[in-house]
Amino acid sequence: MIRHISRLRLTAFRNYATAALDLDGRHVVLTGPNGSGKTNLLEAISVLSPGRGLRGASFDTLQAQGSDLPWAVAATIETDDGPADIGTGALPDGGRRVRINGANARSIEAMSDYLRVLWLTPAMDGLFSGPAGDRRRFLDRLVTTLIPGHSATVSDFEKAMRQRNRLLEDEGDPRWLGAIEVQMAELGASIHLNRTDSLSHLQALIAQSLDDTSFPAARLSLTPLFDDLVEPATSAELETVLAQRWHALRPLDRAAGRTTSGPHRVDLDVIHAQKSMPAALGSTGEQKALLIGLILAHARLVRLRTGIVPFLLLDEIAAHLDPDRRRALFVALDGLETQCFLTGTDPVLFEALEGRAQQIGVREGRLARKG
């Protein structure tokens, strides 16, 4: 049986006062005008995972305007072990809670025992030529589908780094500054090793499919964590070096008003493998195809490493693909044996899916099954 969402319920989420979908294991195609709520529905599914969803929005912005009810998203996931009910919703403090099978979950990451989620949105089309921060966030999302706690580690590191920056600016207690740097070093080493380990496995899997011409393959690497020394081999050694580095850089960082070195400065380097050229130099179509190929490969990796095939949320995915590449995409999605959610304004773009997808019309926050 394909793991799939059989029931989805939204309450006071974005432009949905309420919404309900009952689904089978086939793909789901959402079509309707721009602004009707297609992406909002994908975002609702994306918050059933660690992190802040496909828009990276703060949770208090998810609330439907004019509703007295707190926002909530609930889904029934069909698994080989039977159905699991997963829900998440707003807390008064702006955070969120998670419930699994009717009980409060021990952590946000507990949802990952039942589902993993990957997505592609039009905002990611300029990923390879855009700022390094976008590529780091993209990479960290990939890592989180393999290591659910990674998202929280990144968040904790950024919080500690902001504390360090404030202490430097205020010339705070050096002992407290040292304690923060030790905490940052532990978190930073974990982030870096999670990234390098995940990239290593992903690159090995991509190398096995270089002869597949449906979508170009990527050659991936991280820019050096340190420009002036060999990267330590163990986590403990890396923690020590990071703490020492930040201690030594205090004067420079105080003058700069920021932490100038660390895993938050690393970039994801992407090469078009078949052409041996930087991804950023490819055409818009090549970059889109390369990104799709990368997501498909990572979905296969998640399945191999975790036993759970991720749900794919593909927003406006077909709009800039020619008919042959659209057909190749749909064949590749079928091969993943997972449920994919695809959006578009024109139903014609999804004709090649034939009966392999459920067609849902979306208009002004209302859903209607088609056909």
The domain spans of the chain are 1-116+308-371, 128-302
Binding site listing: 32-39
pLDDT at 320: 82
3-state secondary structure of 100: strand
Q: What is the pLDDT of residue 9?
A: 98
Contact 164, 133 (CB under 8 A): no
SS3 340: strand
> What residues form the annotated binding site for ATP?
32-39
Sheet with 96-100, strands from edge to edge, namely 16-22, 4-13, 72-79, 82-90, 96-100, 103-104
Give the pLDDT confidence score for residue 371 in this predicted structure. Answer: 65
According to the model, what pLDDT value does residue 340 have? 98
The helix or strand, by DSSP H or E, that contains position 361, with its residue range, turns out to be strand 357-363
Angle between helices 132-146 and 284-306 (to 10 degrees): 30
Sequence-separated (6 or more) residues with CB below 8 Å from residue 244: none
pLDDT at 93 (0 to 100)? 86
What is the fold of 1-116+308-371?
Rossmann fold (3.40.50)
Low-confidence ranges of the chain (pLDDT < 70): 213, 371
Angle at 174 between CA 169 and CA 177, to 5 degrees: 70
User: Which pLDDT score, from 0 to 100, does residue 348 have?
Assistant: 92
Q: Which CATH superfamily is domain 128-302 in?
A: RecF/RecN/SMC, N-terminal domain (1.20.1050.90)
